[in-house]
């Protein structure tokens, strides 16, 4: 008997989902994929799948019949584990809003040592605008050639360059002898302006050529410039990519690129955004990025949810494996779950005043969904209900150390965010206050160099000068780097990469 299509996976709900959960999942998917809003060619099928899944699962009789044809769930243990930590166990019943933090750690099951290699479908989208000329472009070309040589035979690597137009240098093809393209990579020349949309669009097309769920599908965008006027179109591509689980990660070189824009672009798909200060670091960061992708256990991890009544999700941030601010509306794209490591996010909820008769507050209800390429039915779903009990005058309780550690450093990053907002609004006094506080904290926590960079910017702001782009990025990505787990410093991914995968 042929295996029937996995309707549960299509909707991203667990097998024992309630009719309400099914209805909600269908509604959300339909909003994204309905032909009225999603005009992309070939996409109607995706919508029809969802439609068909809903028709079957929403009807109790059809669903019962369908369930009988399904192969038994192949796994005895869940394909991933979730560990939750809250800032407090009991919420006080009070007549004013209050904050609650949740730390969500997702990891592969304990025994998953990670022998299986996840094949890649990666497209490098390389900026070849005039400003890339010289060392930057040379390093990029050499690294690209290295990657072409080192990737596994099962991997797909395509390369696109762009300035004010895009060009496919290495097409997406599984069978192709990639080394034949080395000369073509070597001949990439610089010239023209930076129009990111051109590159992104071409890169997205290349990924789509061999798009399959068993691959890790990812676009790596490398740029040193600012794009003008096409940001909205770029975001549209990111949204389409997110629906399919195609990630977009950005590497920004030097000072001129638009970090706010690229952060958002990456966040839409759960990708990462990295600041590369010097050309000499391009090789390391680019290879680290690709290595990270090849260690993927699950791709396209997302949190699909609805909030409790009048609850607001004020802030979402990924602490590991990569540092990144996240979107705050459902579904939140969380990125990749790597073998032998933990995906860690922190959520800040603002809870409305709690009436006296209430003893339980729902923060967010939904599910963690991910694609695990090594499973025969790749989509894995687990419910996630975030809630807290409420009581009048609960005994005071200390916040767990793990929560304090995560938030103390995140606080510094957020002070930096406040400062740069105030700077862009022209509020010198307020910006100075935030920056001075940031510097004091950095000194006290043992980061004097970063603190001095902050103080330099304070002086510039006070002199009525513009903040330097370099300083701004150094502070932003510097405070972000503080959030990396301490063990990451000792870890040298580059060496492992060069030994190759067994």
Partner 1 sequence: MIICPSCHNQEFVGALFCSVCGAQLTYQTKSPTETVQYPEPGDPSASAAETRVISPSAALSSRVSIKIKETGQIIPLEGSEEFTIGRVSGTQPILPDIDLTPFKAYQGGVSRLHAILRIKGEEITISDLGSANGTYVNGVRIAPYELVPLSNGDLISLGKFPIEIFIR
Q: From CA 54, how far away is CA 14, in angstroms rounded?
A: 14
Tell me the DSSP string of 360-409. Answer: EEEEEEEEEEEE-TTSSS-EEEEEEEEEEEEESSPPP-PPPHHHHHHHHH
Cβ 410 to partner 1, closest distance in Å? 8
Provide the CA 45 distance to its chain's centre, in angstroms: 26
Running DSSP on this structure, what letter comes out for residue 427?
Answer: -
For residue 461, CA distances in Å to 208, 231, 428, 468 come to: 46, 28, 7, 9
Nearer to partner 1, 237 or 415 (CB): 415
Nearer to partner 1, 248 or 363 (CB): 363
Cβ 419 to partner 1, closest distance in Å? 10
Cβ 94 to partner 1, closest distance in Å? 6
Q: Which of 209, 235, 350, 375 binds partner 1 (CB under 8 A)?
A: 350
Residue 355 binds partner 1 (CB under 8 A): no
Q: Which of 4, 78, 92, 134 binds partner 1 (CB under 8 A)?
A: 92
Residues 26 and 12: beta-carbon distance below 8 Å: no
Q: Which of 78, 109, 448, 501 binds partner 1 (CB under 8 A)?
A: 448
Cβ 411 to partner 1, closest distance in Å? 4
Question: Which stretch, 156-164, 253-261, 327-335, 440-448, contacts partner 1 (CB under 8 A)?
Answer: 440-448
Residues 427 and 435: beta-carbon distance below 8 Å: no
Nearer to partner 1, 30 or 455 (CB): 455
Nearer to partner 1, 148 or 361 (CB): 361
Nearer to partner 1, 31 or 399 (CB): 399
Q: Which helix (H) or strand (E) element contains residue 495?
A: helix 493-499
Residue 58 binds partner 1 (CB under 8 A): no
Question: Which stretch, 46-54, 253-261, 282-290, 439-447, contacts partner 1 (CB under 8 A)?
Answer: 439-447
Q: Which of 107, 129, 338, 441 binds partner 1 (CB under 8 A)?
A: 441
Is the bond preceding 321 in cis, omega lying within 30 degrees of 0?
A: yes
Residue 356 binds partner 1 (CB under 8 A): no
Measured from the Cβ of residue 279, the count of other Cβ atoms closer than 10 Å reads 18
Nearest residue to 408 via CA among 57, 39, 90, 87? 87
Q: From CA 350, how far away is CA 290, in angstroms rounded?
A: 37
Cβ 442 to partner 1, closest distance in Å? 9
Question: Which stretch, 61-69, 99-107, 216-224, 333-341, contacts partner 1 (CB under 8 A)?
Answer: 99-107
Q: Which of 411, 421, 462, 492 binds partner 1 (CB under 8 A)?
A: 411
Q: How many residues bind partner 1 (CB under 8 A)?
A: 37
Nearer to partner 1, 87 or 338 (CB): 87
Q: From CA 297, how far away is CA 151, in angstroms rounded?
A: 18
Cβ 395 to partner 1, closest distance in Å? 11
Residue 237 binds partner 1 (CB under 8 A): no
Cβ 100 to partner 1, closest distance in Å? 6
Q: From CA 200, how far away is CA 196, in angstroms rounded?
A: 6
Q: Which of 42, 446, 464, 500 binds partner 1 (CB under 8 A)?
A: 446
Q: Which of 8, 12, 88, 238 binds partner 1 (CB under 8 A)?
A: 88
Q: Measure the CA angle with vertex 442, ends 438 and 443; round to 5°.
A: 120
Residue 358 binds partner 1 (CB under 8 A): no
| φ, ψ (nearest 5 deg) of residue 299 | -115, 160
Cβ 320 to partner 1, closest distance in Å? 19
Nearest residue to 323 via CA among 105, 101, 482? 482
Residues 203 and 265: beta-carbon distance below 8 Å: no
* Residues 364-403 interacting with partner 1 (rule: CB under 8 A): 396-399, 401, 403
Q: Measure the CA angle with vertex 41, ends 36 and 43; round to 5°.
A: 65
Tell me the DSSP string of 120-153. Answer: EEEEEEEE-SGGGTTHHHHHHHHHHHHHHHHS-T
Q: Which of 414, 472, 473, 480 binds partner 1 (CB under 8 A)?
A: 414
Residue 319 binds partner 1 (CB under 8 A): no
Cβ 430 to partner 1, closest distance in Å? 9
Residues 320 and 342: beta-carbon distance below 8 Å: yes
Question: Which stretch, 61-69, 220-228, 234-242, 405-413, contacts partner 1 (CB under 8 A)?
Answer: 405-413
Nearer to partner 1, 110 or 398 (CB): 398
Cβ 407 to partner 1, closest distance in Å? 5
Nearest residue to 189 via CA among 149, 255, 256, 140? 140
Cβ 44 to partner 1, closest distance in Å? 46
Which residues on adjacent β-strands are paired with residue 295? none
Tell me the DSSP string of 153-216. Answer: TT-EEEEEEESSSEEEEE---SSS-GGGGHHHHHT----S---HHHHHHHHHHHHHHT--TTSE
Nearer to partner 1, 285 or 443 (CB): 443
Interaction site with partner 1 (CB under 8 A)? 87-88, 91-92, 94, 96-101, 350-351, 396-399, 401, 403-404, 407-408, 411-412, 414-415, 418, 433-434, 437-438, 440-441, 443-444, 446, 448
């Amino acid at each position: 008997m042929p295996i029937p299509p996995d309707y549960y996976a299509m909707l991203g709900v667990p097998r024992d989902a309630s009719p309400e959960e099914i209805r909600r999942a269908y509604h959300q998917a339909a909003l994204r994929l309905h032909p009225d809003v999603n005009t992309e060619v070939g996409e109607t099928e995706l919508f029809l799948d969802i439609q068909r899944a809903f028709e079957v699962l929403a009807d109790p009789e059809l669903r019962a019949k369908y369930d009988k044809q399904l192969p038994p769930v192949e796994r005895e243990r869940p394909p991933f584990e979730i560990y939750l930590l809250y800032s407090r166990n009991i919420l006080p019943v009070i007549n004013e809003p209050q904050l609650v933090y949740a730390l969500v750690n997702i990891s592969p099951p304990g025994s998953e040592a990670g022998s299986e290699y996840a094949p890649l479908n990666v497209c490098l989208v390389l900026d070849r605008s005039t400003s890339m000329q010289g060392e930057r472009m040379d390093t990029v070309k050499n690294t690209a050639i290295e990657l072409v040589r080192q990737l596994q035979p099962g991997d797909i690597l395509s390369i696109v360059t762009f300035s004010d137009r895009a060009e496919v240098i290495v097409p997406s093809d599984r069978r192709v002898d990639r080394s034949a393209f080395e000369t073509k990579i070597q001949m990439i020349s610089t010239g023209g302006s930076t129009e990111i949309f051109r590159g992104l669009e071409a890169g997205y097309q290349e990924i789509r050529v061999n798009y399959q769920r068993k691959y890790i599908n990812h676009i790596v965008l490398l740029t040193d410039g600012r794009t003008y006027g096409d940001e909205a179109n770029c975001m549209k591509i990111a949204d389409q990519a997110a629906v399919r689980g195609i990630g977009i990660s950005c590497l920004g070189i030097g000072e001129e690129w638009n970090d706010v824009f690229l952060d958002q672009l990456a966040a839409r798909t759960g990708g990462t955004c990295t600041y590369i200060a010097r050309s000499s670091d391009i090789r390391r960061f680019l290879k680290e990025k690709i290595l990270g992708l090849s260690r993927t256990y699950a791709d396209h991890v997302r949190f699909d949810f609805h909030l409790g009544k009048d609850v607001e999700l004020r802030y979402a941030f990924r602490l590991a494996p990569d540092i990144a601010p996240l979107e705050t509306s459902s579904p939140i794209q969380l990125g990749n779950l790597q073998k032998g490591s933990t995906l860690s996010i922190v959520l800040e909820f603002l809870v409305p005043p709690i009436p006296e008769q209430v003893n339980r507050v729902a923060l967010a209800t939904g599910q963690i969904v991910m694609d695990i390429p090594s499973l025969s039915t790749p989509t894995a779903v687990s419910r996630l209900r975030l809630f807290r009990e409420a009581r009048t005058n609960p005994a005071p309780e200390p916040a767990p150390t793990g929560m304090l550690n995560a938030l103390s450093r995140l606080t510094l990053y957020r002070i930096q965010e406040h400062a740069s907002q105030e700077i862009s609004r022209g509020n010198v006094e307020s910006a100075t206050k935030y920056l001075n506080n940031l510097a004091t904290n950095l000194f006290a926590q043992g980061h004097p160099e970063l603190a001095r960079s902050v103080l330099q910017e304070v002086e510039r702001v006070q002199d009525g000068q513009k903040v330097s782009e370099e300083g701004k990025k150094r502070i932003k990505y510097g405070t972000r780097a503080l959030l990396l787990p301490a063990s990451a410093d000792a870890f040298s991914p580059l060496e492992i990469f060069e030994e190759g995968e067994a």
